[in-house]
């Protein structure tokens, strides 16, 4: 019998993230028997609500998605019985002391292991952390806090946030989430590279011509302008999600799979990257567009966005890593809202085959003959390698075909949501997929000078129609570095 009670307090329990991601992920873990015997959930927020009302609210977003086992309904009921609610102000030590009392009641005298998930705006992170650490932390077990971006808006504000959090918590207690690190194909990057002989030897400037990190969504901002307009796509997606993928992709082999060894390598590669310059970036913003009889409104038409906003909803950037492995290889990033499709992928374009015997089969365009490795993070997860192959028959026609690992076909079981992986890791104290403060600082170092320049010079974004492939400028940027976007060819 276990001697401890694990509690998860979701601060900001009635918010969107909590409802859509956190509670469902906790239920999935519970359903899969990944949580300890003594496990409870507390919702904490300002609104008044009873335990029963919280349960009702949560139950609407829980699904039995895993594999429709018959006892799912029972499991759900069992899970809900472990959920409680406490109403309080975010900066009130008194309210957190009351929470502490209720936690103690439910912990039944066992050693408390307390996890707090801050699903709240960043301007109240520090208040909550102060109250939780002073009044509701565990005396003889552990206390951990999960925070999610935005971690500041630039190097200085991020460092200030770190400094404030560290008044109350040690670095070991802070779990900074980047939910892209919990995605199956991002986690698999290291397996792909380091456990396959055929990839790692090619993983350098000797064979790789360019790498592309692409994120697109086919919907606009839809009421999230209050947050988004203050940050923009570069801070929302590039500085964190895409840069994290890049760091895992490009880092040197770590000494071991230990969290500190991996994070040391990520910091090193991030610190080898040149800070972005204004010539290395194209910014865009979507404008209204009619399609199929429906009108899709512009970014600035969203009621939560100021009419004169020049916040980018699209950006393309060329980044470089100044080290021996990657010298001169462009890493192109592209991220945008309200584009023609929803997708996240990594594209690796290899060099031309020297003295290609089949050159004439490709006409004048040898780019068409290069190998390309595509790692599709979502949707429809896949890894495929474009190779040249002879079309069967008497002639000699070549064809580019795919060696295709389609996850749906190979692994029929549904892939867990990124939050399931990350919450489980935080519970188990596994820090590999969380961002260390020096990593965060290095990541901001790459983007901060550029973000300041964009804002000081009030650079106007290039407008692109809602549902299109984004601004033409992105092609020019790629062409300048002798690259073609793989997702458009």
Q: How far is the CB of 419 from ligand BG6 (least distance, A)?
A: 9
Q: Any bridge partners for residue 42, and if so which?
A: 9, 84
Classify burial at 73, counting beta carbons within 10 Å of its beta carbon; exposed 0-12, middle 13-18, buried 19 or more.
Answer: exposed
Q: How far is the CB of 179 from ligand BG6 (least distance, A)?
A: 6
Nearer to ligand BG6, 169 or 422 (CB): 422
Q: How far apart are CA 432 and CA 181, in angstroms?
A: 9
Q: How far is the CB of 284 from ligand BG6 (least distance, A)?
A: 15
Q: How far is the CB of 24 from ligand BG6 (least distance, A)?
A: 13
Q: How far is the CB of 346 from ligand BG6 (least distance, A)?
A: 14
The active-site residue, picked from 86, 230, 241, 289, is: 241
Q: How far is the CB of 481 from ligand BG6 (least distance, A)?
A: 26
Query: Helix 184-194 vs helix 243-250: angle between axes, to the nearest 10 degrees?
Result: 20
**Stretch 62-101: interaction string toward ligand BG6, x if CB under 6 A:** ----------------------------------------
Nearer to ligand BG6, 221 or 454 (CB): 221
Q: How far is the CB of 236 from ligand BG6 (least distance, A)?
A: 5
Residue number of the CB closest to ligand BG6 reads: 236
Nearer to ligand BG6, 84 or 286 (CB): 286
Q: How far is the CB of 406 from ligand BG6 (least distance, A)?
A: 19
Three state DSSP letters for the chain: CCCEEEEEEEECCCCHHHHHHHHHHHHHHHHCCCCCCCEEEEEEECCCCCHHHHHHHHHCCCCCCCCCCCCHHHHHHHHHCCEEEEECCCCCHHHHHHHHHHHHHHHCCCEEEEEEEECCCHHHHHHHHHHHHHHCCCCCCEEEEEEECCCCCCHHHHHHHHHHHCCCCCHHHEEEECHHHHCHHHHHHHHHHHCCCCCHHHCCCCCEEEEEEEEECCCCCCCCHHHHHHHHHHHHHHHHHHHHHHHHHHCCCCCCCCHHHHHHHHHHHHHCECCCCHHHEEEEEEECEEECCEEECCHHHCCCCCCCCCCCCEEEEEECECCCCCCCCCEEEEEECCECCCEEEEEEEECCCCCCCCHHHHCCCHHHHCCEEEEEEECCCEEEEEEEEECCCCCCCEEEEEEEEEHHHHCCCCCCCHHHHHHHHHHHCCCCCCCCHHHHHHHHHHHHHHHHHHHHCCCCCEEEECCECCCCHHHHHHHHCCCCCHHHC
Nearer to ligand BG6, 209 or 241 (CB): 241
Q: Clarify whether 352 is annotated catalytic.
A: no
Subset of 318-347 contacting ligand BG6 (CB under 6 A): 344
Nearer to ligand BG6, 236 or 381 (CB): 236
Question: What are the tokens at 350?
Answer: 């290899």
Nearer to ligand BG6, 55 or 241 (CB): 241
Please report whether residue 420 would count as binding ligand BG6 according to CB under 6 A. no
Nearer to ligand BG6, 112 or 220 (CB): 220
Nearer to ligand BG6, 84 or 419 (CB): 419
Size of residue set near ligand BG6 by CB under 6 A: 4
Residue among 236, 265, 302, 441 that touches ligand BG6 (CB under 6 A): 236
Question: What are the tokens at 51?
Answer: 């335990």
The answer, yes or no, to whether the previous bond of 379 is cis (omega within 30 of 0) is: yes
**Stretch 172-211: interaction string toward ligand BG6, x if CB under 6 A:** -------x--------------------------------
Catalytic residues: 241
Q: Which residues bind ligand BG6 (CB under 6 A)?
A: 179, 217, 236, 344
């Amino acid at each position: 019998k276990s001697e401890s009670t694990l509690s998860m307090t979701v601060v900001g329990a009635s918010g969107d993230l909590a409802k859509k991601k956190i509670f469902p992920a906790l239920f999935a873990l519970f359903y899969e028997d990944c949580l300890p015997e003594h496990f409870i959930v507390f919702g904490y927020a300002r609104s008044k609500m009873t335990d029963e009302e919280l349960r009702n609210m949560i139950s609407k977003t829980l699904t039995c998605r895993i594999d429709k086992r018959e006892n799912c309904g029972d499991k759900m009921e069992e899970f809900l019985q472990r959920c409680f609610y406490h109403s309080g102000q975010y900066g009130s030590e008194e309210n957190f002391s009351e929470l502490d009392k209720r936690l103690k009641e439910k912990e039944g005298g066992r050693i408390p292991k307390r996890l707090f998930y801050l699903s709240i705006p960043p301007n109240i992170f520090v208040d909550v952390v102060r109250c939780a650490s002073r009044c509701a932390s565990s005396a003889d077990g552990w206390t951990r806090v999960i925070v999610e971006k935005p971690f500041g808006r630039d190097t200085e504000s991020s460092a200030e946030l770190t400094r404030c959090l560290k008044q109350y918590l040690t670095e070991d207690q802070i779990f900074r989430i980047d939910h892209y690190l919990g995605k199956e194909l991002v986690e698999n990057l290291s397996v792909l590279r380091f456990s396959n002989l055929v990839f790692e030897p090619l993983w350098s400037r000797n064979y790789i011509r360019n790498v592309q990190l692409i994120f697109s969504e086919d919907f606009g901002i839809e009421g999230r302008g209050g947050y988004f307009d203050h940050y923009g796509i570069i801070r929302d997606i590039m500085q964190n999600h895409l840069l994290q993928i890049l760091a895992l992709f490009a880092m040197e082999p770590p000494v071991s799979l230990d969290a500190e060894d991996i994070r040391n390598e990520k910091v090193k590669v991030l610190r080898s990257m040149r800070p972005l310059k204004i010539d290395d970036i194209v910014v865009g913003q979507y404008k209204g567009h009619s399609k199929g009889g429906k009108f899709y409104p512009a970014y600035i038409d969203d009621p939560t966005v100021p009419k004169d906003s020049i916040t980018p909803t699209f950006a393309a950037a060329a980044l470089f890593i100044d080290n021996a492995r990657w010298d001169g290889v462009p890493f192109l990033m592209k991220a945008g809202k309200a584009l023609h499709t929803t997708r996240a992928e990594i594209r690796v374009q290899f060099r031309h085959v020297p003295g290609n015997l089949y050159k004439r089969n490709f006409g004048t365009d040898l780019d068409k003959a290069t190998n390309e490795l595509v790692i599709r993070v979502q949707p429809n997860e896949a890894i495929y390698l474009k190779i040249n192959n002879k079309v069967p028959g008497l002639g000699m026609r070549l064809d580019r075909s795919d060696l295709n690992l389609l996850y749906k076909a190979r692994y029929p079981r549904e892939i867990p949501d990124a939050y399931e992986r990350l919450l489980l890791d935080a519970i188990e104290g596994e820090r590999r997929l969380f961002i260390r403060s020096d990593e965060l600082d290095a990541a901001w170092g790459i983007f901060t000078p550029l973000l300041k320049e964009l804002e000081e010079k009030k650079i106007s974004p290039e407008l692109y129609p809602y549902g299109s492939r984004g601004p033409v400028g992105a092609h020019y940027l790629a062409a300048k570095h002798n690259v073609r976007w793989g997702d458009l060819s």
